Amino acid sequence: MTFIDRLRKIQHSGNSLLCIGLDTDLKKIPQHLLKKKNPLVEFNRAVIETTRDLVCAYKLNLAFYEARGEHGWHALRETLALIPKFVITIGDAKRGDIGNSSERYAHSLLHDLKFDAVTVSPYMGKDSVAPFLESKAHGVFLLALTSNPGAKDFQYQKVGKKFLYEKVIETASRWSDGNIGFVVGATQAQQLRSVRKIVPHAPLLIPGIGAQGGNLEDVVRYGCDANGDLAVINASRSILYASNGKDFAGKAREEAMRLNDAINSFRMKFFQH
């Protein structure tokens, strides 16, 4: 099955556009877990077990795992093994290198670790992204408009009459038919509207709700395709650290459910689901 069909399928069957970012930080997880042999994996296991029926995807930001070297890399692999096969996994790695090197990154992320999709940086152009797009079974979310302050430095620079991030989306959408999507931060909800006009059928990964404070109603309204699908709305800290006590997994579920219900109420409002 193609990546985009899998994404649509789980967004329907699971009735969820929610993605949980497993940006797991040993400094923030409940203290009692630190006594366990592998606290990072134990934390992820509990969160996955209590939220797996509420999400369409889990996103793992590699920075949080690499920071722990070989052990972190192994924890990444162990965490991926805990995620049910029907849930999409996104390797948030933001790689991008000359073709020769990007091939290795694609091998590592899509074939060794077996992520279903990855985030990729657009700066080095087509041949740096192509190795990730080879199989339609895998998805790419190319960085377009990010949710951090630095987005203004280059992404909002004008290239002709367009912003650079629009130029990136227009250009890269021609690199593949079907498995290229884009990262558009929720803090830029108004911009989602113009992005959707450029790529009406592409998956959009939308980080920045919750801790970074994007407007959820606009995110759903403008981030979805015409059927109210293909927005992958990511929350990390607000769910993972909803409680730092022994009830963390239950509280994570409550917060995930609250968010998913809110998203679905806007989906009903704008798309008559």
Q: What is 161-184 written as a DSSP string? A: TEEHHHHHHHHHTTS-SSSEEEEE
Instruction: Give the nearer residue to its own copies in terms of CB position, either 36 or 126.
Output: 126
**Smallest distance, its own copies to C-beta of residue 198, A:** 16
Q: Could you give the residue numbers annotated as active site?
A: 94
Q: For residue 241, what are the CA distances in angstroms to 18, 19, 38, 133, 251? A: 17, 15, 18, 34, 8
For position 41 contacting its own copies by CB under 8 A, the verdict is: no
Residue 170 in tokens? 């227009």
The C-alpha atoms of residue 172 and residue 180 are separated, in whole angstroms, by 8
Task: Confirm if 117 and 140 have CB atoms less than 8 A apart.
Answer: yes
**Footprint of its own copies on 209-228 (CB under 8 A):** none
Residues binding its own copies: number (CB under 8 A): 54
What CA–CA distances, in Å, run from 79 to 93, 162, 200, 234, 249? 16, 40, 33, 18, 15
Nearer to its own copies, 86 or 154 (CB): 154
Which position among 26, 124, 137, 262 is part of the footprint of its own copies (CB under 8 A)? 124
Question: Interface with its own copies includes 155 (CB under 8 A)?
Answer: yes
Stretch that binds its own copies, among 41-49, 90-98, 193-201, 243-251 (CB under 8 A): 90-98
If binding is defined by CB under 8 A, does position 27 make contact with its own copies?
A: no
**Any contact of residue 128 with its own copies (CB under 8 A)?**
yes
Task: Please check whether residue 66 is in contact with residue 72, taking contact to mean a CB–CB distance below 8 angstroms.
Answer: yes
- 86 interacts with its own copies by CB under 8 A: no
**Residues at the contact surface with its own copies, assessed by CB under 8 A:** 23, 61, 63-64, 66-67, 69-70, 73-74, 77, 94-99, 101-105, 107-108, 112-113, 121-129, 143, 146-155, 157-160, 164, 167-168, 171
